[in-house]
Amino acid sequence: MLAVETSTMVGAAVVKTTEKGGFTPEQVAEMAVEKIIHVSDGTVAPLRDQAHAFKDHIQAILCHYMKFAIEQDRATVCAELRKAGYDDLAKHFRSI
């Protein structure tokens, strides 16, 4: 006879919402780094501190590049608006 025993651990569900707008790059970077890097509470203090410092560094890098991506996307949209003859709309959109 064949017997198989398995178990599964499922993490807690987390729900985040915003009011009057979307998430900021800082909030998105925090959500991303929480999914990418997990630091166990049982880790010895020096390693835990180093892991948290690394996590903070990665979060700052993610935030920087998200802001850069947003700027580049806006520049692309403005260029397309200007190409279509909507100079005023492009100007207003760029100032947002």
Segment 13-51, tens digit of pLDDT: 778 888 888 999 999 999 999 999 998 888 899 999 999
Q: Is residue 11 part of a domain?
A: no
Split into its structural domains, the chain has a count of 1
Q: Is residue 84 part of a domain?
A: yes
Q: Is residue 16 part of a domain?
A: no
The values of phi and psi at residue 90, to 5°, are -65, -40
Q: Is the pLDDT of residue 3 over 70?
A: no
> How confident is the prediction for the chain on average, in pLDDT?
89
Q: Structural domain of residue 73, as residue ranges?
A: 25-95
Neighbours of 51 (CB within 10 A): 15
Rounded alpha-carbon distances, angstroms, from residue 63 to 20, 23, 48, 56, 76: 21, 12, 22, 11, 20
